[in-house]
Amino acid sequence: MNTTSVRSGPQVTDIEDSPSGVNNFVIVAATINGSGSQTANNCLLRALFKMGIPVTAKNLFPSNIQGLPTWFQIRLSADGYVGRRDTCEVLVAMNRSTAAEDISKVAPGGMVIVPSEWKLAEDRSDLSYYSIPVQQMAKDSGANADLRPYVANMAYVGALVELLGIDVDEIEAALMQHFGGKRKAVDLNFGVVKAAIEYTRANITKTDPFKVERSNKTAGKILINGNEAGAMGAVFGGFTVAAWYPITPSTSLVDALGDYAKLLRADEKTGERTYAIVQAEDEIAALGMVVGAGWAGARAMTSTSGPGLSLMTEYAGYAQFAEVPAVIWDIQRMGPSTGLPTRTAQGDVLMVYYLGHGDTRHDILFPANMEECFEFGWRSFDLAERLQTPVFVLSDLDLGMNLWMSQPFTYPDKPMDRGKVLSAEELAKLGGFHRYEDVDGDGIPYRTIPGTDSPLAAYFTRGSGHNAEAQYTERADEWQANLARLHKKLEHARTLVPAPVLDEVPGAEVGIISYGSNDSAIAEARSMLASRGIQTSYLRLRALPTTAEFQHFLAKYPRHYVVENNFEAQMAKILQTEAPAYAAHLTSVNQCDGLPLTGRWIAQSILEQER
């Protein structure tokens, strides 16, 4: 069977995760991709968000264009937890091929909405079944035949509005926003919503406990995904050249980059742009363009995923060694190899840290939320130009493609840092410069930008052995001196990269170390653990190499759990080498099934170790 399906993580029983009936449950809409359910799902999400209810969404879609199963999971959490939860209380079963398995996974006491047309045997007595004539409603909508599957999705929106008590005006408002105010489209869709509401009201008796209530917990917040946030950050970071090659789940970052740049960085009248975005022929070329542009003085970036990253290996090593600034986003997806392009993971950490042959090492940033996606979007350029090196931003599909609540973004708190660039005037004053000399003792040399109008500006960039004057050399002493300086620069980077975020709890006996998208699940896990009497302190890494704070944190607790979403426990391995004295104190809490980690699984895993 070619069926695509999603199973929950390991069966955990110690930690219960029972939702209450109000503003605290998970809705799953099981549909078929390409059928247009995205509009329905996003409108639902937005309406709940606008009602002030903390929400988060996980879109589990197949690596195909049309016809395969898709699940859209909306979690409502009165407490504001936005990590994934692996239960489902409200199921909208619109995909016949997965319905049986989908229904089998609904929590006892949950509800299931199914199309009346299926004539389903309602064989779980612990569930409330509600059947809705979805196809009939679509037909009645007046939409022409090819649009019907699309508007049919609105029928379940209507049913949910009625059954859960969603504010129908917020649905209409969401549709208005979705269709950019195009009344005709809104009316067509909203008509179905209203018909479904009426049908439900007239024909269905609610027997489940789930409902929503207006709240004030999302006031002032925005709803965005990490790829858009990162792209926005890059636009505010003054990117000037982007080169890329399409790949899921990174494509939408560059799409958003194009949209925001067009909006903010193009002259409406002349069409003139203060940036260039080029779709390359592959990822080797994409990074080649970025390196060429960075060398020539642009703020240059690319965005990719695993397979593309593999192809970038050679140029990444070159840029690190020849000291060319570049920003490389890696929106991690499940690997090895082609893996699962539409599933999330944190499986590229080890590879990126050492990306390149012959003793290469890199600087990496790990955003954990929308604000950091935005912030690292601009800050990565400052770092790359300051350190004259590629800076990798490791996001993942969960951050990048799912919608998250966030505080509005903060405008960059300092002017652009273009790093140690010498102008013609400075060169004249200095009487020249040595490209790879460590003038300031921080390992970072000075550079000039091609086109600098001075006979003293030129230097020769190469990936082969060079001395401080950028001349070719095969001398052992010069080689060693240059590598030693590069090493010093890598050490210096520890003082420039974002420090970890710490949450230390008095009396904690256990440290949790993690990074990236696991943050929300960890917050939840920690409260679950606290409720069992296990107090934890938490260090969230935001960069590699590690900083001094990390070493201090290690010293404070006898046991540390390194939580991550990959099979090889990659960050734990790196941390063992960063702090060998504590290597034996680090226990990995890692798994990798394509789905974001859940708070419950993390708490359970730590609990098992701690007792």
Partner 1 sequence: MAIQEPPAQGTNLIGLTRNDYKGRASTLCKGCGHDSISARIISVAYDLSIQPTQLIKLSGIGCSSKTPAYFLNQSHGFNGLHGRMPSMATGALLANHTLKAIGISGDGDTGSIGIGQYIHMVRRNVPVVYIVENNGVYGLTKGQFSATADEGQQLKYAGLNELPPIDVCMEALVADCGFVARSFAGDPRQVETLLKAALSHRGTAVLDIISPCVSFNDHEDSTKSYAWGKSHEEVVSDFSFIPVRNEITVDYEEGQSADVTMHDGAVIHLKKLDSNHDPRDRMAALRLLEEAKLKQEFITGLIYINEERQSLSELERLPEAPLARLPEDTVRPSRDALDALMKDLM
Ligand X SMILES: Cc1ncc(C[n+]2csc(CCOP(=O)(O)OP(=O)(O)O)c2C)c(N)n1
Q: In the complex with partner 1, which residue's Cβ is closer, 65 or 202?
A: 65
Q: Contact with a copy of itself (CB under 8 A): which of 173, 340, 499, 501? A: 340
Work out whether 145 is an interface residue with partner 1 (CB under 8 A): no
Q: Contact with partner 1 (CB under 8 A): which of 265, 492, 494, 559? A: 265
Site for ligand X in 243-262 (CB under 6 A): 245-247
Q: Which stretch binds partner 1 (CB under 8 A): 145-153, 274-282, 557-565, 574-582?
A: 274-282
Q: Contact with a copy of itself (CB under 8 A): which of 226, 356, 377, 390? A: 356
Site for a copy of itself in 47-86 (CB under 8 A): 62-63
- Number of residues binding to ligand X, judged by CB under 6 A: 8
- Tokens 């996974």 sit at which residue? 105
Pairing of strands 390-396, 363-365: parallel
| Binding track, positions 282-321, relative to a copy of itself; x by CB under 8 A | ------------------------xx-xxx-xx--xx-xx
As measured in angstroms, the least distance from the Cβ of 532 to partner 1 is: 37
Distance CA 146, CA 190 (A): 18
As measured in angstroms, the least distance from the Cβ of 346 to ligand X is: 19
H runs (alpha helix) in 12-92: 37-50
Site for a copy of itself in 552-581 (CB under 8 A): 566-568, 570, 573, 576-577, 580-581
Residue whose C-alpha is closest to residue 172's, from 161, 163, 217, 164? 161
Q: In the complex with a copy of itself, which residue's Cβ is closer, 447 or 526?
A: 447
234: its two tokens: 């890059």
How does 364-394 read in b/e, with b if 16+ C-beta sit within 10 Å? bbbbbbbbbbbbbbbbbbbbbbbbbbbbbbb
From the list ligand X, a copy of itself, ligand SF4, none, partner contacted by residue 246 (C-beta under 5 to 8 A by kind): ligand X
Residues counted in the chain: 611
H runs (alpha helix) in 111-225: 134-140, 148-164, 168-178, 183-203
Site for partner 1 in 378-437 (CB under 8 A): 408-409, 411-412, 415-416
Distance CA 577, CA 354 (A): 13
Site for a copy of itself in 578-607 (CB under 8 A): 580-581, 583-584, 586, 591-595
Distance CA 287, CA 329 (A): 11
Q: In the complex with ligand X, which residue's Cβ is closer, 357 or 429?
A: 357
Strand order in the sheet with 510-515: 501-503, 536-541, 510-515, 559-564, 586-590
Site for ligand SF4 in 63-122 (CB under 6 A): 65-66
Residues facing 331 on adjacent strands = 395
Work out whether 553 is an interface residue with partner 1 (CB under 8 A): no
Work out whether 308 is an interface residue with ligand X (CB under 6 A): yes
310: CB partners within 8 A, 6+ apart: none
Helix axes 519-531, 599-610, angle to 10 degrees: 50
- Tokens 């708190």 sit at which residue? 413
Work out whether 317 is an interface residue with ligand X (CB under 6 A): no
Does the CA dihedral 321-322-323-329 come out positive or negative? negative
From the list a copy of itself, ligand X, ligand SF4, none, partner contacted by residue 65 (C-beta under 5 to 8 A by kind): ligand SF4
From the list partner 1, ligand X, a copy of itself, none, partner contacted by residue 460 (C-beta under 5 to 8 A by kind): partner 1
| Binding track, positions 496-525, relative to a copy of itself; x by CB under 8 A | ------------------------------
Determine the Cα angle at 310 with ends 449 and 342, to 5°: 115
Binding residues for ligand SF4, per CB under 6 A? 65-66
